[in-house]
Chain A
Amino acid sequence: MSEATAKTTEAKAGAAFEPRIAAFVCNWCTYTGADLAGTSRIQMAPNVRVVRLPCTGRIDPMFIIKAFERGADGVIVSGCHPGDCHYSAGNYHARRRFAIFREIMSFIGIDPNRITFSWVSASEGRKWGDVVDETVSRIRGLGPFAGYKNLVEKTHAGA
């Protein structure tokens, strides 16, 4: 690669960093809230891909790991406010699980700021837009998370 091309590629890469964000949301509150944001024409960053699940209680932290493995720069996990769970307590269980998972990530040395946890109800279209915008701008600040995906290269000699 010539120096000139290298520079252009670099500049392109720098300018083109658009965070890729996976959002795991519950069907009953956040997904409906995100729907409301859409029908209300609320403007928000377009970087988020939403995965709908029945409940935050169904969101296994493995989903987050998988998202990072497949190249996500950030993740949003969102569901019903405490007391609002369609299944009574799924979000309380999820809350415990994610509290521990965050600490494990942090102890391993992965910045927990890569993940946003939020409660967004079906009526909080505006809040969903804020959560998305805030997450995108935070991840933009943290930069790409290729280090995780490319970990595969740091492995046994000869592999």
Chain B
Amino acid sequence: MTRQMFISESALKSLAEELVKAGTRLVGPARERNGDLVYREASDLGEIELGGDPPTRSLKEFFLPPTEVLLTYRQKQGDVEVTPAPHVFAPLVVIGARPCDAAAVAAVDKVMDWDYHDELWFGRRLATTIVSVACGGGDASCFCTAVGLAPDSAKGSDVLLVPVEGGFHAEILTEKGEALVKAHAARFTEGGKAEAAKAYRDAARGKVQANLSADPAKIRAFLEAGFDHPIWKGIALRCHGCGACAFVCPTCHCFDIVDEPDSIERGTRRRNWDTCQAAKFTLHGSGHNPRNEQNCRIRQRMMHKFAIYPARFGEILCTGCGRCIRVCPGGMDLLETLDKLGRLPAGAPAEAKRGAP
């Protein structure tokens, strides 16, 4: 049973101060020099925007950085000496995470603990406490309600805050959340303000629902039967294959492992972000490429998120954050595609007339 409490705006500010003073890294949506809102380390709650615009990049980079050292190696007279990278997982508290970003981290947990337990991912996961703030309903690109989430989803969060008059209604969801509350007990008051929070939550849900109502089960059924459906042929015409969608996606987690030599004897092995939207992603050494053009790559993206991952892990690999739509320079629109797919009957390919995408 989640505990319900209340924290005032000023108490939250004090809590953040205490964290920083204790040497905990504080992260939240804050502005960069060029005005972009991103999750970044802040020294004060004043820098953090608890609501408003969606951050341009997701929270995933704090668990899976764009590049990280796995090991260094050194060849010595035929032997190879390998030194694992000395990773330190410093305590981190995220304040103001979007529920869609918190949910994404929880979804990716599944694959990171599948055939291989990713110590780096979980090292950072365990060191991090996520305090989400329920979202007010986002913008025209948001569709969390169509993938089983909501602007106030608790999934992946340790504490969920819902804005109410003078502060936040707080739901303490996990042990990590309890620990945070315990460490800053004076900042919270018992009871919560669930009643007051309800209007905000309902309004936000209604706002996102208006963007798209789709049934993920129906979409999955179509995808599982529709690999050869003619709709895929024109799906990616305006797509440039740039992969920006995957890099800003909170759930895309593909990576590439590269060795960077410093010399013939020594070097570093790194893990870098990668994307199935890049032509090189599935290129074989022979020169053959099973996903040889962009339509296949977009299909792969759809399949992985809405059929393959759900089949294997019971989770949709999309939280409806809408970043891929906001960032796409070609005007690709996942929300629109889902709407279209959701209307197609599963099973035998229809004689699809190719309209203008």
| A–B contact via C-beta, under 8 angstroms | yes
A159→B67 contact, CB < 8 A: yes
User: Contacts A70-B262, A70-B263 known; A159 to B41 CB distance under 8 Å?
Assistant: no
B61→A156 contact, CB < 8 A: yes
Contacts A157-B65, A159-B69 aside, 14 further interface pairs with beta carbons under 8 A come to A70-B263, A71-B262, A155-B67, A156-B61, A156-B65, A156-B66, A156-B67, A157-B41, A157-B62, A158-B62, A158-B65, A158-B124, A159-B65, A159-B68
User: Contacts A70-B262, A70-B263 known; A158 to B68 CB distance under 8 Å?
Assistant: yes
Binding site for A on B (CB under 8 A): 41, 61-62, 65-69, 124, 262-263
Give Cα distance in the complex from A72 to B224, angstroms. 55
Question: Which residues of the partner chain A approach B124 to less than 8 Å between Cβ atoms?
Answer: 158
Question: Which residues of the partner chain B approach A157 to less than 8 Å between Cβ atoms?
Answer: 41, 62, 65
A-B contacts, 21 listed (Cβ < 8 Å): A70-B262, A70-B263, A71-B262, A155-B67, A156-B61, A156-B65, A156-B66, A156-B67, A157-B41, A157-B62, A157-B65, A158-B61, A158-B62, A158-B65, A158-B68, A158-B124, A159-B65, A159-B66, A159-B67, A159-B68, A159-B69
Give Cα distance in the complex from A57 to B227, angstroms. 49
The listed residue with most B CB atoms (<10 A of its CB), out of A70, A71, A157, A158, is A158
Ranked nearest first, the 8 interchain pairs of A and B with the lowest CB-CB distance are A158-B65, A159-B65, A159-B68, A159-B67, A156-B65, A156-B66, A156-B67, A158-B62
A-B CB pair tally, cutoff 8 Å: 21
Give Cα distance in the complex from A156 to B67, angstroms. 7
Q: Which residue of A lies closest to B62 (CB)?
A: A158
Give Cα distance in the complex from A158 to B263, angstroms. 25
Give Cα distance in the complex from A156 to B273, angstroms. 12
The listed residue with most B CB atoms (<10 A of its CB), out of A71, A156, A159, is A159
Mark out the residues of chain A between 136 and 159 whose CB falls within 8 Å of any chain B CB in the assembled complex.
155-159
| Shortest Cβ distance from residue B290 to the other chain A in the assembled complex, whole angstroms | 31
| Shortest Cβ distance from residue B60 to the other chain A in the assembled complex, whole angstroms | 11
Question: Which residues of the partner chain A approach B41 to less than 8 Å between Cβ atoms?
Answer: 157
